[in-house]
Amino acid sequence: MATAVSSVGETCRAAKRAARTLAQVESDVKDGALKAIADALEARCEEVLEANDRDMQLGREQDIGEALLDRLRLDEGRISAIARAVRQIAALPDPVGEVIEGRRLPNGLDVRKVRVPLGVVAVVYEARPNVTIDATALCLKSGNAIVLRGSSTAMHSNAALAQIAAQAAVQAGLPDGCVSLVAGGGREELAELATQKDTVEVIIPRGGEGLKHALQAVATVPVIYAASGNCHVYVDASADLDRAEAIVINAKTHRPGVCNAAETLLVHEAIAGEFLPRMLLRLAASGVLLRGDERVRALVGETDPGSGPIDGGGAPAVRLEPAQEEDWASEYLSLTLAVAVVESTEDAIEHIGRYGSGHSEAIVTRETASARAFQRGVDAACVYVNASTRFTDGGEFGMGAEIGNSTQKLHARGPIGLRELCTFKYLVEGDGHVRA
């Protein structure tokens, strides 16, 4: 169960024992366990909401900010959505045992490359209690035991969710220890978890740069970083401006406190004079604080950092602050947007290459050449043409859910779903073969 063992080392050793059994569990048993977890979440919804209320109250008292409170908040709708995602994962094909490739060698040996579980996956995350269930469902479906380590901000919510998931999974036939929560403690506990190289195969952190840096300083276990998202939308000279406006609004305001929200708007100089006044007005009306470069502020007639006369009637309606160097590299996770005018698609690509985090980038254009240049030139996990960056999500990509979005290039990149939680091995069959 989630609370059965008391130390990090014991928790990880129990998870390792569970992983050996779990790797051999049939698909129907794993799927049954996931359905049991989904049912238990809905049946014990009030219990989860009571725990979440405690975390929300503490968050308000500690003034953690609206972005974090939004990540932390659970309600009946969100719990139903979490349960629905678990059932969607259960309905997906089991990646374990999938043949990636197979062939017969000239010497007669049959070689198959097949997917297998990683073993024990540790997930370290901040503020988002839904990760407790999303990560658990993905790990169990892919045959992995999971060790969860949430933040103190969501302590009560995570404890309730992990206990529900662990109990339901074990009662449905999965091994004890397959779902564990490491609760409490501080950086010392994180360091202890990050050095369990004999029992933990990989750690996946889901949080800000502070968490990433803390792990980089101590980890001896391999880490897949689900890192920050400094995402851009570039509006090309040929863009359909109505379409561009809708995409920018969605990318920035749909849910600003998440990693796939846009943090910078780049606009081609050829259409900046027509597009930016209407776009900035629309963004300001949506509550967005704007920070523009010199060309943006000159273009909209900005003379005072606190106002801008672009409401169509001459009265100041848009707050447009001067952008500083740090703004271009910032993941705001709030209703703040940096805005710049660029001379070309190549300039946009260069800007993104300098400041982007490799998460999600978008171009709005009607020119195939510009779209292809952007796709080839931008180095990011997800590159969009005429679509919002908000689609970078395991659920939207048909993965059921995700543990996070990797901005790395080795093993996993983009949404971390079932296949990204597997490695592979070669199964080789012969008929008395010996090597000469």
Residue 301 has what pLDDT? 67
Average pLDDT for 130-149: 96
Q: Using CA atoms, how far apart are residues 379 and 393, in angstroms rounded to an integer?
A: 18
Domain presence at residue 434 = no
Domain presence at residue 2 = no
Same domain, 138 and 270: no
Q: How many domains, the chain?
A: 2
Residue 317 has what pLDDT? 65
Average pLDDT for 270-277: 96
Same domain, 235 and 221: no
Residue 148 binned pLDDT confidence (cut-offs 50, 70, 90) = very high
pLDDT of 316 > 50? The answer is: no
Three-state DSSP state, 307: strand
Residue 255: CB atoms within 10 A of its CB come to 13
pLDDT of 31 > 80? The answer is: yes
DSSP-derived secondary structure for 245-268:
HHHHHHHHHSSTTSTTSEEEEEEE
Residue 96 has what pLDDT? 97
Same domain, 211 and 312: no
Average pLDDT for 429-435: 96
Q: Using CA atoms, how far apart are residues 354 and 340, in angstroms rounded to an integer?
A: 14
Domain presence at residue 244 = yes
Q: List, for residues 221-264, the tens digit of each pLDDT value.
A: 999 987 689 999 999 999 999 999 999 999 999 999 889 999 99
Q: Using CA atoms, how far apart are residues 412 and 416, in angstroms rounded to an integer?
A: 7
Phi and psi at 244, nearest 5°, equal: -60, -40
Among the ranges 121-125, 182-186, 204-208, which has the highest mean pLDDT value? Answer: 121-125
Q: Using CA atoms, how far apart are residues 57 and 384, in angstroms rounded to an integer?
A: 38
Mean pLDDT check: name the lowest of 5-14, 16-25, 363-372.
Answer: 5-14
pTM of the model: 0.85
Residue 6 has what pLDDT? 57
Q: Using CA atoms, how far apart are residues 277 and 265, in angstroms rounded to an integer?
A: 13
Same domain, 336 and 366: yes
H-helix or E-strand containing 204?
A: strand 202-206
Domain presence at residue 435 = no
Bigger pLDDT: 300 vs 16 = 16
Non-local (6+) Cβ contacts of 394 within 8 A are 134, 400, 401, 402, 403, 415, 416, 417
Q: Using CA atoms, how far apart are residues 62 and 59, in angstroms rounded to an integer?
A: 5
Same domain, 262 and 374: yes
Non-local (6+) Cβ contacts of 326 within 8 A are none
Residue 3 binned pLDDT confidence (cut-offs 50, 70, 90) = very low
Question: Dihedral (C-alpha) 163, 169, 170, 175: value to the nearest 10 degrees?
Answer: -110
Same domain, 291 and 409: no
Here the CATH number for the domain that contains residue 370 is: 3.40.309.10
| Rounded percentage of the chain residues whose pLDDT exceeds 90 | 80
Domain presence at residue 397 = no
Average pLDDT for 394-409: 86
Residue 304: CB atoms within 10 A of its CB come to 11
pLDDT of 1 > 60? The answer is: no
Domain presence at residue 336 = yes
Bigger pLDDT: 15 vs 410 = 15
CA 190 from centroid of its chain's CA atoms: 20
| Rounded percentage of the chain residues whose pLDDT exceeds 70 | 94
Domain presence at residue 436 = no
Q: List, for residues 61-113, the tens digit of each pLDDT value.
A: 999 888 789 889 999 999 999 999 999 999 999 999 999 999 999 999 999 99
Domain presence at residue 398 = no
Whether residue 299 contacts residue 276, with contact meaning beta carbons closer than 8 Å, is answered with: yes
Q: Using CA atoms, how far apart are residues 319 and 317, in angstroms rounded to an integer?
A: 7
Residue 68 has what pLDDT? 83
Q: Using CA atoms, how far apart are residues 283 and 278, in angstroms rounded to an integer?
A: 9
Residue 310 has what pLDDT? 52
Residue 61: both structure tokens together: 């008292």
Residue 129: both structure tokens together: 């209690």
Same domain, 271 and 356: yes
Three-state DSSP state, 406: strand
Same domain, 368 and 245: yes
Q: List, for residues 254-266, the tens digit of each pLDDT value.
A: 999 889 999 999 9
Here the CATH number for the domain that contains residue 132 is: 3.40.605.10
CA 195 from centroid of its chain's CA atoms: 24
Same domain, 55 and 181: yes
Same domain, 382 and 425: no
Same domain, 363 and 283: yes
Tell me the residue range of the domain where 279 lies. Answer: 231-391
Residue 336: name the closest of 275, 253, 243, 259 by CA: 253
CA 339 from centroid of its chain's CA atoms: 24
Residue 208 has what pLDDT? 74
Same domain, 104 and 176: yes
